[in-house]
Structure 1
């Protein structure tokens, strides 16, 4: 793809946790929102929602090994990524923050909230799960295991990988596919295996802060059962399933997602 990439031009970098972390920041009122994207995405994943959150301080990181961030020295489990993002928070002095995680980012967020509770004013879980439980024959597992370098960003696989409802900008999806395709196939498989082995039930039991759970009613990766398990783990949470949204509700309906976040965690002057 050619043309100016304004999002890429906004990126800053900081050394944290043994890795050079890329991030995008928007100045505004606090508490700041720290947004963590999903598997193979980057901070760009939240670019469609930033205008809906105008006036808030937003800090949107590329997770280690994603987008413009270096892999660092840890592995690929949510706990490994959380340790590096904890160092990122310290480097930017952003406490207390509202932690917003999508998919893989939500699992990293649960690890962070469990290990560093005083750092957060709240937790938002988008298309989240405590335990992915992806079988060997799941289309995502089959598709990722079939990837070979160099990965083609125009391959049909990305229609499955970035599945969303009509209306999401094609240029946005194409940029995401380019960034995901730049990740080596062995890293895709390593992260996927770490997710398949993950169970965050115990970590969730240690979290004591306001929680907002947002799932898409049409999520074909983490079904209604995953949503209900989260709601049971956080019985005091506000939990909602958005109609006409899939696994990426902040792409399908950024206005509704932003409104829910703002209502649960309003800005302070």
Structure 2
């Protein structure tokens, strides 16, 4: 695995990423407060058969934040600039949490550049109560609050795999750029319905995956995303929560390999 930096023009600036493997490109986008290293189990597995590129989202890792006030479409535009600069052609695109919002929006807006899309622990049409809670959290973060324990409690259980992943995630959250974190979380809080009406036009295979214990990226949301897309498929992994790609890597990697093996001509199972 190699860390590289892509120099984009303003307003984007440097974008850092992890690259491994050769072959057809798979592009991965992490969630708020994380970094490209959060995809390590998937990079290791998928790079055996594909070229895997895990991006650091704006304001995370070595990628610079977007300008103040950025919303989800600005992150989608950032991804478009990155993919054009990399000149990869159509890609298989995966995202986790906020990354899933970006990936889903990109598949709606730039269908010609997406062979298939995987949305891990994504949010989709929150209830009014859930939206109010997450927007209040975003306002606290913009005001300077940094509550490390609350997301960790929501995201992890008490198994050995959860405890190991929790320690990794705590390190990433503790080192995140606060400006980038606040901007991305605000866009995340406001973006759950931004592209929802466009899912019916996503003609490529779509995987919506979550854990059955994720209270925010719920199984119902995964089913709704999959049901909205013509070639959508939902996978719910039992006994896991929000960071399922770290706590259940074998199950997630198997689902992603099935997704990579699915062509646009195949009906979802």
TM-score (norm 2): 0.82
> Which residue pairs with 2:251 in the alignment?
256
> Which residue pairs with 2:173 in the alignment?
177
Q: Deviations over 1:126-160 (max 9, x none)?
A: 01123344343x3x5555544565847xx433523
Deviates more, 1:103-112 or 1:204-213: 204-213
* Contact 1:219/1:247 (8 A) holds in 2: yes
SS of 1:48 mapped into structure 2: helix
> Which residue pairs with 2:5 in the alignment?
13
Q: CA deviation at 1:17?
A: 5.3
* Contact 1:33/1:57 (8 A) holds in 2: yes
Following the alignment from structure 2 to structure 1, what is the Cα–Cα distance between the partners of residues 169 and 183? 23
SS of 2:178 mapped into structure 1: coil
Following the alignment from structure 1 to structure 2, what is the Cα–Cα distance between the partners of residues 164 and 35? 25
SS of 1:58 mapped into structure 2: strand
Q: CA deviation at 1:78?
A: 2.0
Structure 1: gaps of 5 or more residues: 1-6
Q: Deviations over 1:165-221 (max 9, x none)?
A: 6214255223322233x323xx54443333333312223232111111111111111
Following the alignment from structure 1 to structure 2, what is the Cα–Cα distance between the partners of residues 248 and 17? 33
> Which residue pairs with 1:192 in the alignment?
185
1:226-245 mapped onto 2 (5 Å cutoff):
226-245=221-240
Q: CA deviation at 1:244?
A: 1.4
Which of the numbers 28, 31, 37 marks the counterpart of 2:30?
Answer: 37
* Contact 1:135/1:141 (8 A) holds in 2: yes
Deviates more, 1:156-165 or 1:248-257: 156-165
> Which residue pairs with 1:217 in the alignment?
212
* Contact 1:158/1:177 (8 A) holds in 2: no
SS of 1:173 mapped into structure 2: helix
> Which residue pairs with 1:3 in the alignment?
none
TM-score (norm 1): 0.82
* Contact 1:17/1:72 (8 A) holds in 2: no
> Which residue pairs with 1:246 in the alignment?
241
Following the alignment from structure 1 to structure 2, what is the Cα–Cα distance between the partners of residues 160 and 144? 17
* Contact 1:17/1:84 (8 A) holds in 2: no
Measured on the aligned residues, the alpha-carbon RMSD in Å equals 2.6
Q: CA deviation at 1:238?
A: 2.0
Deviates more, 1:80-89 or 1:215-224: 215-224
* Contact 1:74/1:80 (8 A) holds in 2: no
Following the alignment from structure 1 to structure 2, what is the Cα–Cα distance between the partners of residues 171 and 99? 27
Q: Deviations over 1:206-247 (max 9, x none)?
A: 211111111111111122321222122124312111111211
Q: Deviations over 1:95-117 (max 9, x none)?
A: 22100011111110111112211
* Contact 1:126/1:215 (8 A) holds in 2: yes
Deviates more, 1:43-52 or 1:140-149: 140-149
Count of residues paired in the alignment:
251
Following the alignment from structure 1 to structure 2, what is the Cα–Cα distance between the partners of residues 95 and 146? 40
> Which residue pairs with 2:22 in the alignment?
28
